[in-house]
A and B are shown apart, each in its own frame.
Chain A
Amino acid sequence: MDNFKVTLRKNLVLYLTLGVLVSLLIAAAQGMESKDFVITFLRGLAVGSLTFLVASGFSLIFGLMHVLNLAHGTLYMIGAYIAWTVFVRPDTFVDLLTPLALLLSGFTLQGVWAFVAARIRLSGAMGRILPWGGMALSLVILFMTLARYPIAVWDVEVFAQSPGTYAFMADQGTRLVPEAAVFEGLSPALAVIGLLAGSLLAAFSMVWLAHPPTAPQQLTWRHFAPFAVLSLVGILALIFNEPLTAWLVGLNTNWLFLVSVVVAVLAGMGLGGLMEVTLIRPLYVRHIYQIMLTLGMSVIGVEIVRAVWGRPEFIMPKPALFTGSGPGCPATTLAAWWQLNCATILVLGGRVRVYNEIFIPLVGLVVLVAVWLLLKRSRLGMIIRAGVQDSEMVEALGINVRQVFTLVFALGVGLAALGGALAAPSLGLSYHMGESVMLNALVALAIGGLTSYPGAALGSVIVGLIQQFMIKYGQIGIAIPFTEIVFKPTPPIVPASTIFLMVIILLLLPNGLLGKKE
């Protein structure tokens, strides 16, 4: 009983704040019909889930490495565009597999290159000129090969071949499959040789230039295994290009959707890992440079997306599981929905879109629990929690913290990419989709507590709910008690409302709702 009183007194402001928030929600429910409330509530949860996927990764990375990854929203966007590409243009995706795998393969031989570089003894001038020469030569080889490498791709300049057109047609159920790109002026064998040679030379020159302080004493098969696997994947993808494309194009959209999301997550993780190893790692002690770097990368990411996929917004079609219509729809029970795969379902009299308002919050919940279990139950999670407090001590126990950093960075970016891939069919794709979600995530983290995992979840849900209720009340108006006035929040108030809440909460609880006191 005494314990209870002590906890109560310590956290009085927190409980009062939570109480006020809950009563706000109840008051919001009083002001509208129950079907409106259900829809708005679920929409809030959906926005909250997408925000959470970005915020949780951002907060994991910040907590462990103290890196403010401002490119996180951009990586969310890139996840969306990757998922779209796999879903709408599987042929482009398959065409890209070979050059990507072969390009990366050389860089997996880090250990080998360090081993070789440590054994080359050259006089000063040659030692500096040769690596640069190798780098230049590798770029020439890669450019010549890639310029002629056939990739079937859309054309943002031509309306009939623009991403929007492909997306629209796929959504209508008639998938446009353009002619496959064929090798011209470059034989497939030469392409493979060129890509491999360019990649090997580029990777070696880079390692040679960097002069790694530690090199392996001897080489084992482990040093070569990733290279062998990647180059084999690349070559197999080239040989089986046509059947693979045909298989993906013919695949049921539910499975294709799953493939798209998985590819987006894996690509996001790969991109995150690569980013940490090559760009963030040299800047761990220089926080300002890190912020400049990640900010710059987010701008570059947006420009790349605009150049490759074009400026117009388009959508990613939903898988068949969520697009059913006709007699019996909207479904009234889950069983009926399962049979007919209706796009909407009736909940308390309100028509709820299954994908947007039920599926996305469910995935958010699954991720919430999965990452929670990872943090609490696994050895990796234990190391992460310890590293958040004192990564030097973790290293002193004999644990390779740098590897854990890379892994967590990859995981965090993977979560953001998952968010983007999930958002693509419901919110659509645009080159500024990253900005708004990033702003939401930052506000959510400030509300919930910057490095607290449950705080990220709570803050995201609060941000999502407030925004959606503000939008809804913008339509129906809030009757101010004891007056005749009906207040209708205008659209600019929607983002402002969450920031307003953030300011109040930070004034009351400077570390956010669930943040640690410092």
Chain B
Amino acid sequence: MDTILDVQSVHTFIGQYHILQGVSLSIPRGSITALLGRNGAGKTTTLKTILGLLPPRQGKIVFEGREINGMRSFDIAARGIGFVPEHRAIFRDLSVEENLKIAERKKGDYARKQDFIFGLFPDLKRLIALPGANLSGGQQQMLAIARALVADNSLLLIDEPSEGLAPVIIENVMAAIRELSKNATIVLVEQNFLVASQLAEYYVIIEEGRSVRHGLMAELVQDQATIHRYLGAA
């Protein structure tokens, strides 16, 4: 199996707190993998560790055959990792168009991807001149995903895409993520198990900073005991 991202027993600290105490992931190319676990288990920290925003103290991260731990974040991202953070982190003072343009890595990225992006999110085209601050939660989520698509990213890290969105909008976002998985590998952090189970092929459960279970989502869905033990309610 072709592995695009390999995280090997990574340890990450935030200040003095030992947050990740051995997380390992092996992400197959072209797949959607969901990171599951309770609040505070270390899912978001795992994404930030991969991106180098929280550099790991121990362990190894290999992306596209190259060791990336210890590199600076911008360097890691520029190798083809797109990040859609929790709470979207839209640039509020920038217009929708500027929010997309800033993600260019090569001149003309935005011009090339425009049709694809607005095909996926027709709403954004209409809002192009508006400042990011004026967008609704769902629109911001679409913009955050669109922003990760401007550059050529082979891996997308998406944190809590359904958080705080109305059910109808969640459907839209899910459809978009499915569409994206045709061209990119996706690692998803998702609290909403229903959403995660419908999207992902693989899962990894993180519990108290350790990756404790992984496997096929189809199997997890049948395994009520595991769901109950690690994720609380099903």
Give A contacts to B, CB under 8 Å. 213-214, 379, 382-383, 385-386, 388-390, 392-402
A–B complex contacts, Cβ < 8 Å, 25 sampled:
A213-B70, A214-B71, A214-B72, A382-B94, A382-B98, A385-B91, A386-B91, A386-B98, A386-B102, A389-B93, A392-B53, A394-B102, A395-B73, A395-B74, A395-B77, A396-B53, A396-B83, A397-B74, A397-B102, A397-B147, A398-B77, A399-B102, A400-B75, A401-B74, A402-B72
Chain A min CB distance to B90 (Å) = 9
Q: Counting CB contacts under 8 A, is B195 at the interface?
A: no
With A214-B70, A214-B72 known to touch, is A398 a contact of B105 (CB < 8 Å)? yes
Chain A min CB distance to B77 (Å) = 4
Are B53 and A395 interface neighbours, CB within 8 A?
Answer: yes
* B14-55 residues at the A interface, CB under 8 angstroms: 51, 53
Q: Knowing that A386-B93, A401-B74 are A-B contacts, what are 20 other residue pairs whose CB atoms are under 8 Å apart, sorted by A's residue number?
A: A379-B101, A379-B102, A382-B102, A385-B93, A385-B94, A389-B91, A389-B92, A392-B73, A394-B102, A395-B53, A395-B72, A395-B73, A395-B77, A396-B73, A396-B74, A396-B85, A397-B74, A397-B83, A397-B151, A398-B151
Are B102 and A383 interface neighbours, CB within 8 A?
Answer: yes
Query: In the bound complex, what is the Cα–Cα distance between A420 and B103 (angstroms)?
Result: 37
Query: In the bound complex, what is the Cα–Cα distance between A399 and B85 (angstroms)?
Result: 16
| B102 / chain A contacts, CB cutoff of 8 Å | 379, 382-383, 386, 394, 397, 399
Q: Counting CB contacts under 8 A, is B89 at the interface?
A: yes
Q: Counting CB contacts under 8 A, is B78 at the interface?
A: yes
Give B contacts to A, CB under 8 Å. 51, 53, 70-75, 77-78, 83, 85, 89, 91-94, 98, 101-103, 105, 147, 151
5 cross-chain pairs, A with B, having the tightest CB-CB distances, nearest first: A398-B78, A398-B77, A386-B91, A393-B89, A396-B83
Query: In the bound complex, what is the Cα–Cα distance between A302 and B102 (angstroms)?
Result: 41
Are A400 and B72 interface neighbours, CB within 8 A?
Answer: yes
With A390-B89, A395-B53, A398-B151 known to touch, is A382 a contact of B77 (CB < 8 Å)? no
Query: In the bound complex, what is the Cα–Cα distance between A388 and B102 (angstroms)?
Result: 14
Query: In the bound complex, what is the Cα–Cα distance between A394 and B101 (angstroms)?
Result: 12
Query: In the bound complex, what is the Cα–Cα distance between A398 and B147 (angstroms)?
Result: 12
With A382-B98, A392-B53 known to touch, is A398 a contact of B74 (CB < 8 Å)? yes
Are B94 and A400 interface neighbours, CB within 8 A?
Answer: no
Query: In the bound complex, what is the Cα–Cα distance between A385 and B51 (angstroms)?
Result: 22
Query: In the bound complex, what is the Cα–Cα distance between A202 and B93 (angstroms)?
Result: 44
Query: In the bound complex, what is the Cα–Cα distance between A392 and B52 (angstroms)?
Result: 10
| B147 / chain A contacts, CB cutoff of 8 Å | 397
| B72 / chain A contacts, CB cutoff of 8 Å | 214, 395, 400, 402
Query: In the bound complex, what is the Cα–Cα distance between A389 and B92 (angstroms)?
Result: 8
Query: In the bound complex, what is the Cα–Cα distance between A179 and B74 (angstroms)?
Result: 54
| B70 / chain A contacts, CB cutoff of 8 Å | 213-214
Are B89 and A382 interface neighbours, CB within 8 A?
Answer: no
Chain B min CB distance to A137 (Å) = 32
- Interface centre among B70, B91, B92, B101, by most chain A C-beta atoms within 10 angstroms, is B91
Pick from B77, B93, B105: contact of A396, CB under 8 Å: B77
Complex: chain A residue closest to B77, CB-CB: A398
Chain A min CB distance to B109 (Å) = 11
| B151 / chain A contacts, CB cutoff of 8 Å | 397-398
| B101 / chain A contacts, CB cutoff of 8 Å | 379, 382
| B105 / chain A contacts, CB cutoff of 8 Å | 398
| B73 / chain A contacts, CB cutoff of 8 Å | 392, 395-396
| B75 / chain A contacts, CB cutoff of 8 Å | 400
| A402 / chain B contacts, CB cutoff of 8 Å | 72
- Interface centre among B83, B92, B102, by most chain A C-beta atoms within 10 angstroms, is B102
Query: In the bound complex, what is the Cα–Cα distance between A383 and B103 (angstroms)?
Result: 10
| B83 / chain A contacts, CB cutoff of 8 Å | 393, 396-397
Query: In the bound complex, what is the Cα–Cα distance between A379 and B89 (angstroms)?
Result: 19
Complex: chain B residue closest to A390, CB-CB: B89
| B85 / chain A contacts, CB cutoff of 8 Å | 393, 396
| B78 / chain A contacts, CB cutoff of 8 Å | 398
Chain B min CB distance to A468 (Å) = 33
Complex: chain A residue closest to B92, CB-CB: A389
Chain B min CB distance to A496 (Å) = 35
With A382-B101, A382-B102, A383-B102 known to touch, is A399 a contact of B74 (CB < 8 Å)? yes
| A379 / chain B contacts, CB cutoff of 8 Å | 101-102
| A390 / chain B contacts, CB cutoff of 8 Å | 89, 91
Query: In the bound complex, what is the Cα–Cα distance between A213 and B74 (angstroms)?
Result: 16
| B93 / chain A contacts, CB cutoff of 8 Å | 385-386, 388-389
